[in-house]
Structure 1
Amino acid sequence: MRSCLKLAGVAVLALMVAACDEAQQSDASAQQQPQATPVGTVTLEAQTVGLIEEMPGRTVAFRKAAVRPQVDGIIKERNFTEGAFVEAGQQLYMIDQAVYMAELDAAQAELAKQRATLDQTTKTRTRYESLVKTQAVSEQTFDDAISAEAQAKAAVAAARAQVDQARINVEYTTVTAPISGQISSSDVTEGALVTANQEDALTTITQLDPIYVDVTQAGGRLLKIKQAIQNGRIQGVENGKIEVALIIDATGVEYPHTGTLQFSDVSVNETTGTIRLRAVFPNPDGVLLPGMFVRGQVRQGKLEGAFLVPQKAVMRRPDGSAYVYTIGDGKVVSKDIQIEQSQGENWLVTDGVEDGEQLIVDGIQRIAPGAPVTAEPVESANAAQGSAQ
């Protein structure tokens, strides 16, 4: 009986030891298994995103005309207010006309004289024409009459040209605005002597509405965009019309009117590797002045199936390639991405991620590929950063 009791006690003790060992092994296993790290995530959504390229630029006058005299003379009048708006054809200066009026009178008198001579030679030729038939005058005399009439006609034409020239000179004494626009200060005053086609301008007229804006873009970037438009990857460019928004550097405020891209240069700048693009903007209030520094936001179509990824979620390797962390089966997955451009606080990504994926945006420093994580959703990328459609 005692032997049985002893055997039973040994068995119970063995069971207890085994249970204790199993518990210790379970605790050790639990300690070795890493804890899931909480991370902030957003759900990626594929969308149609407008391509907006921001480029530096400057404003350029739509038209600019330097006003110079076309005849010599003394300035008698100045008929405009400096800095005012002038219309095309409006009188700006009056040059003394006395000399040119006298030349016009002389040219008209010469024309009258030559016309009288032509009338006389025509009558003589007509009279000789009937007499030569009866041999009352010689053939030579008749030929001389014909020649005299032709010379008289030429003299009348030359005199008429002199009259036209004199009349033009008289008209040139009234200096008018060649274009409509804002006129600058006058560089001459009444009583000043001016000469025809002098180097110094009397004043300058600048047309400000509309106005040009010249911006620059990397030549390679423009080529990629054109190729994407041709193969249909970029949509929304109709008839080559590309809209441009404008931000004024001095104030940082967006210009209220939208412009249209007119053309691009046919060559790339060898020094900078950029190409010049020219847009035209309405400028009814004269806010934009030539020479202002601006930033043009060129809307170069729309890209379908793209993703707006917060810039803080994107990391780069030493070779410059970009990647992000997403969650797959509760673990961190590293994915290489293709970045098209930046848009505000986002990167526009065209490849490497999928619709509906959980993108890790917070807690990146505490994790590595393959590490278990717990997703804690934050505001969506679209709500937090805004769409660029």
Structure 2
Amino acid sequence: MRSMLFRLAALAACATLLVGCDKPSGPAAGPGAQMPTPEVSVVIAHAQSAPLTRELVGRLAATRTAQVRARVAGIVLDRTYTEGTDVKQGQILFQIDPAQLKAKLNAEEAALAKAEADAVNAALTAQRYTELREKKTISQQDVDTAQAAERTTAAAVQQARANVESARLDLSYATVRAPIAGRAGRALVTEGALVGQGEATLLTTVEQIDPIYVNFSQSVQELTELQREAAGAQGTKTPAAKAKVEVLLPGGTAYPETGAVDFSDLAVDPGTGAVSLRATVPNPHRVLLPGMFVTLRLTTGQLEHAFLLPHAALSRDAKGASVMVLEADGKVALRRVETHGMTRTDWIMTGDLADGDQVIVAGLQKVKPGAIAKLAPVETPAKTPSGSPPGPAGAKG
């Protein structure tokens, strides 16, 4: 029994020695093993003219807004316009009962006729008294009194005429007209309502929305950068284009009409630290409505010899922005650049770049300046022989 156990222990020891002899050994296991060359993906830089563009958020507002109010007291007889439609300047919107105003005008016209008659009588009296004074049949006091009465009645005529004009004006206000051309809003009163009693009752609002305003704001730093970029673009051989605005509707749809910035506030809002700006955009089809929030693309000029590179290519450190370039000898080089805004996919940049440079966009974490790198192989889809159906993965012919 003991001899059997001894033989089994000996066989186990031999098996352990044989397994240890089968372990691989080679250069990869040694401490001086060489790391493989990192692979990177690149894009080719091409110098081009690029617009200096910023995307901002703005709110639409009417270029002109007029509140239509009742300027005389009375009962509304009729609303003569259709709510939410375009109206012309001077178009009738409401009709207020004019009966009382006509009666007042008639009374003022009668008072004017009486004042004119009194003035004629006073003028004739003054003329007769003057003639009698020449004959010394009346005193000078009587003449002075007659002439004073003539002047008083003449002034009364002027006052009566002014009263007639005022009454006629009030009567014209009974017909409420659109002060400007635009889109008339909802009527705030109905037929039978008493308006203008002690206050100028608001009847409706007319807004002019073609063109339409886009109000937006920018921080002082962003505004300074825009002005600096625009000034730099103007310093190139090609003059910078006038700042223009493109509107993106909710959902990202581009609005076909372009506008321009027409106002910049002279002061900074102390609450937000931003400057208010405004652009004017044509709106012939009334697609844009006041109060809407839109994305606007602000273009301040044209930058010559610029490069549009993917967002992934740009890195930043304490010294500024930079990109990595794969040179012809396979070495990685760092190039300093300056950014001038961005699009949805690319940075607009200038700096130490040349046309045709291979800018690294993938694999940046595996390389550093001066290191060796190589282009990653381009993956192409496997081709299936003509006329043969694709077989299962890993299948051999």
| Shorter-chain TM-score tier | 0.7 to 0.9
Deviations 1:114-154 (A, max 9, x none): 10111111112222333323323322222112111110110
Q: How many Å apart are 1:32 and its aligned residue?
A: 7.7
Q: How many Å apart are 1:86 and its aligned residue?
A: 1.6
Secondary structure of the corresponding residue to residue 287 of structure 1? coil
* 2-structure distance, mates of 1:352, 1:200: 67
Judge conservation of contact 2:70–2:200 (CA < 8 Å) in 1.
Answer: no
Amino acid at match of 2:163: Q
Q: How many Å apart are 1:302 and its aligned residue?
A: 0.9
Judge conservation of contact 1:337–1:352 (CA < 8 Å) in 2.
Answer: yes
Judge conservation of contact 2:98–2:174 (CA < 8 Å) in 1.
Answer: yes
Report the counterpart of residue 81 of structure 2 in structure 1. 80
Residue 324 (structure 2) pairs with residue 325 (structure 1): yes
Deviations 1:63-109 (A, max 9, x none): 22221111111112221222222211111111111111111111001
* 2-structure distance, mates of 1:65, 1:197: 21
Report the counterpart of residue 253 of structure 1 in structure 2. 253
**Matching of residues 261-300 of structure 1 within 5 Å:** 261-300=261-300
Judge conservation of contact 2:211–2:283 (CA < 8 Å) in 1.
Answer: yes
Report the counterpart of residue 305 of structure 2 in structure 1. 305
1:334–1:178: structure 2 CA closer, same or farther, 3 Å change rule? same
* 2-structure distance, mates of 1:375, 1:155: 102
What residue ranges of structure 1 are gaps of 5+ in the alignment?
Answer: 1-30, 379-389
Residue 356 (structure 2) pairs with residue 351 (structure 1): no
Q: Which moved more, 1:193-202 or 1:267-276?
A: 193-202
Report the counterpart of residue 363 of structure 1 in structure 2. 363
Amino acid at match of 2:78: E
Amino acid at match of 1:367: V
Secondary structure of the corresponding residue to residue 257 of structure 2? coil
**Matching of residues 161-240 of structure 1 within 5 Å:** 161-196=162-197, 198=199, 200-230=201-231, 232-233=234-235, 236-237=239-240
Secondary structure of the corresponding residue to residue 258 of structure 1? strand
* 2-structure distance, mates of 1:65, 1:225: 35
Q: Which moved more, 1:74-83 or 1:112-121?
A: 74-83
Secondary structure of the corresponding residue to residue 202 of structure 1? strand
Report the counterpart of residue 103 of structure 2 in structure 1. 102
Report the counterpart of residue 143 of structure 2 in structure 1. 142
Secondary structure of the corresponding residue to residue 207 of structure 1? strand
Q: How many Å apart are 1:165 and its aligned residue?
A: 0.8
Secondary structure of the corresponding residue to residue 125 of structure 2? helix
Report the counterpart of residue 53 of structure 1 in structure 2. 54
* 2-structure distance, mates of 1:44, 1:233: 24
Q: How many Å apart are 1:172 and its aligned residue?
A: 0.9
Q: How many Å apart are 1:377 and its aligned residue?
A: 10
1:308–1:174: structure 2 CA closer, same or farther, 3 Å change rule? same
Report the counterpart of residue 6 of structure 1 in structure 2. none
Q: How many Å apart are 1:156 and its aligned residue?
A: 0.2
Report the counterpart of residue 158 of structure 1 in structure 2. 159
1:369–1:32: structure 2 CA closer, same or farther, 3 Å change rule? farther
Q: How many Å apart are 1:268 and its aligned residue?
A: 1.8
Judge conservation of contact 1:36–1:371 (CA < 8 Å) in 2.
Answer: no
Judge conservation of contact 2:52–2:229 (CA < 8 Å) in 1.
Answer: no
Judge conservation of contact 1:57–1:293 (CA < 8 Å) in 2.
Answer: yes
* 2-structure distance, mates of 1:377, 1:324: 21
Q: How many Å apart are 1:353 and its aligned residue?
A: 2.6
Deviations 1:146-185 (A, max 9, x none): 1111101100000001101111111111111111222222
Secondary structure of the corresponding residue to residue 257 of structure 1? strand
* 1-structure distance, mates of 2:136, 2:229: 91
Report the counterpart of residue 21 of structure 1 in structure 2. none
Amino acid at match of 2:129: Y
Judge conservation of contact 2:67–2:202 (CA < 8 Å) in 1.
Answer: yes
Q: Which moved more, 1:367-376 or 1:172-181?
A: 367-376
Q: TM-score, normalised by structure 2?
A: 0.80
Size of the aligned set, in residue pairs, is: 344
Q: TM-score, normalised by structure 1?
A: 0.81
* 2-structure distance, mates of 1:190, 1:320: 72
Residue 340 (structure 2) pairs with residue 335 (structure 1): no
Q: How many Å apart are 1:230 and its aligned residue?
A: 4.1
Deviations 1:257-313 (A, max 9, x none): 111211111122223322221111111111111111101111101112222122111
Judge conservation of contact 2:260–2:281 (CA < 8 Å) in 1.
Answer: yes
* 1-structure distance, mates of 2:198, 2:307: 61
1:334–1:358: structure 2 CA closer, same or farther, 3 Å change rule? same
What residue ranges of structure 2 are gaps of 5+ in the alignment?
Answer: 1-31, 379-397
Judge conservation of contact 1:70–1:196 (CA < 8 Å) in 2.
Answer: no
1:41–1:227: structure 2 CA closer, same or farther, 3 Å change rule? closer
* 2-structure distance, mates of 1:197, 1:346: 63
Q: How many Å apart are 1:237 and its aligned residue?
A: 4.2
Judge conservation of contact 1:42–1:377 (CA < 8 Å) in 2.
Answer: no
Amino acid at match of 1:344: R
Q: Which moved more, 1:336-345 or 1:287-296?
A: 336-345
Amino acid at match of 1:289: L
Judge conservation of contact 1:35–1:372 (CA < 8 Å) in 2.
Answer: no
* 2-structure distance, mates of 1:79, 1:200: 17
Secondary structure of the corresponding residue to residue 150 of structure 1? helix
1:261–1:236: structure 2 CA closer, same or farther, 3 Å change rule? farther
* 2-structure distance, mates of 1:255, 1:325: 38
Judge conservation of contact 1:322–1:338 (CA < 8 Å) in 2.
Answer: yes
1:56–1:83: structure 2 CA closer, same or farther, 3 Å change rule? same
